[in-house]
């Protein structure tokens, strides 16, 4: 997880938070968060990187549409990242 870009981590968060989202659904969620257009040339190569790293699996809905799911390894990486973040922001957020 440490070698991912922030954008790639955000992709993981969106994928794990949805039920087998397809590329356009992921793109829509990220565009809402970033408040700007996410181009296909940025989205799909980063999704492929997550697949290549074994963090995400890509399935096929039909000839034109793929869906994505977080693998067990991806879930473990997300949990480890969450635990690490809690060391630094957990106390701060619980004080609010």
| pLDDT range class, residue 95, cuts 50, 70, 90 | low
Q: What is the pTM for the complete model shown? A: 0.89
Write down the residue that tokens 């922001």 correspond to.
89
Judged on CB neighbours under 10 Å (0-12, 13-18, 19+), 74 is buried
Domain ranges within the chain, ordered by starting residue: 6-95
**Is the distance from CB of 71 to CB of 54 less than 8 angstroms?**
yes
* Spatial distance between the Cα atoms of 51 and 33, rounded to a whole number of angstroms: 22
| DSSP states of 20-75 | S-BHHHHHHHHHHHHTS---HHHHHHHHHHHHHTTSEEEEESSSS-EEEEE-HHHH
Is pLDDT at 23 greater than 70 in this prediction? yes
Model pLDDT for residues 64-94, shown as the tens digit of each residue: 899 999 999 999 999 999 999 998 887 777 7
Domain covering 6-95, topology: Arc Repressor Mutant, subunit A (1.10.10)
């Amino acid at each position: 997880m440490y070698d991912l870009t922030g954008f790639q981590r955000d992709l993981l968060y969106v994928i794990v938070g949805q039920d087998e989202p397809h590329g356009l659904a992921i793109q829509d969620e990220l565009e809402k968060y970033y408040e700007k257009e996410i181009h296909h040339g940025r989205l799909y190569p980063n999704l492929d990187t997550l697949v290549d790293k074994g963090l995400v699996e890509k399935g096929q809905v039909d000839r034109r549409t793929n869906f994505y799911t977080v693998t067990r390894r991806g879930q473990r990486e997300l949990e480890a990242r969450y635990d690490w973040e809690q060391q630094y922001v957990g106390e701060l957020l619980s004080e609010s």
